[in-house]
Amino acid sequence: MPSQRLYIFRTFLLLFCAFGRQALEVNGDTRDGIFRRCTIHARSEAENGNTPTDELNVSSEDYIVQFTSYKNISDHVAFLIQIAGECDKWSNLARSTLATRFPTDFVVIRVNRELGDSTLKSIQENDGVRSLLKERQIDSRKIFSVEDDDPGGSASVDVGEEVQGHQRQIFAKGLISITKYTGADVLWKRGHTGAGVKVAVFDTGIRKKHSSFRNVRERTDWTDEDTLDDHIGHGTFVAGLIASTHSQCAGFAPDADIYAFRVFNRKQVSFTSWFLDAFNYAMQIGIDVLNLSIG
């Protein structure tokens, strides 16, 4: 009897594995094999602020394919093979490693301009696709930057030739605290300090171990650069408005939990897909308040 049970279980296991393997194969290739074959890696540095998009993408265009369901990126790529044909006319653009750990409802593809019309039509007309939109590069935001040799955190304002090079001292003499001026201290006395509230800051990141923050819970990068640090200064500045604990320049919610989402790179360039991946992750971890500084 036990041997009969073992035989039945073994038969069931073999059938399960056979069907599972079939589900992961498209035209004899595994899902992971398709993903590796059809994926090209992060945009080159030339694309991120050094070269105008129109000059760079002469032969190709990038599109965001939004699907009707959330799945792993490799599943979506395998589905595109089925509806759009082999990836000789299109390629999946690699994204942040963190983005691959969670289900998503979109992929970013690069399509050959000369060969891609039929591909795009096949994708757009499929019932499993919710929308097909061109990827947008965000490169017009020039707010201010921190000088590399300025550890103190003063910032230069980039708002025109008349003020180029002007240094704005955050803690200038005689500065009136904006939180006190607006009555935030009254709310603090009532216990409303932001404790337990998860706040996401979508910006240039936050400096590591900054002395003015009490609760920086996580820093994540969604760009093509391998860094978590704030090389611009704006993300740290915005996070300070929210949750700084500095005695002369306190934030409005000093006890809030700060989650730094680095969606702009060193050249203050971003892409729609970087934001979408960050939004997905924010939903996964239960963010309460999300601050965007797109400009």
Q: Give the model's pLDDT for residue 260.
A: 96
Please give the Cα distance from 1 to 17 (Å, whole number): 24
Give the pair of three-digit tokens for residue 28.
């004899």
* Pick from 252, 266, 256: nearest CA to 223: 266
Question: 56 CB contacts (<8 Å, ≥6 apart)?
Answer: 46, 47
Which region among 3-7, 62-66, 84-88, 178-182 has the lowest average model confidence (pLDDT)?
Answer: 3-7
Spatial strand order in the sheet of 216-221 = 216-221, 257-262, 198-203, 289-292
Pair of tokens at residue 150: 């300025």
Task: Flag whether pLDDT at 255 surpasses 90.
Answer: yes
| Residue of higher predicted confidence among 94 and 221 | 221
Rounded alpha-carbon distances, angstroms, from residue 145 to 154, 161, 217, 261: 9, 15, 24, 18
Mean pLDDT of 12-35: 48
Angle between helices 117-124 and 73-84 (to 10 degrees): 110
> 100 — phi, psi (to 5°)?
-80, -10
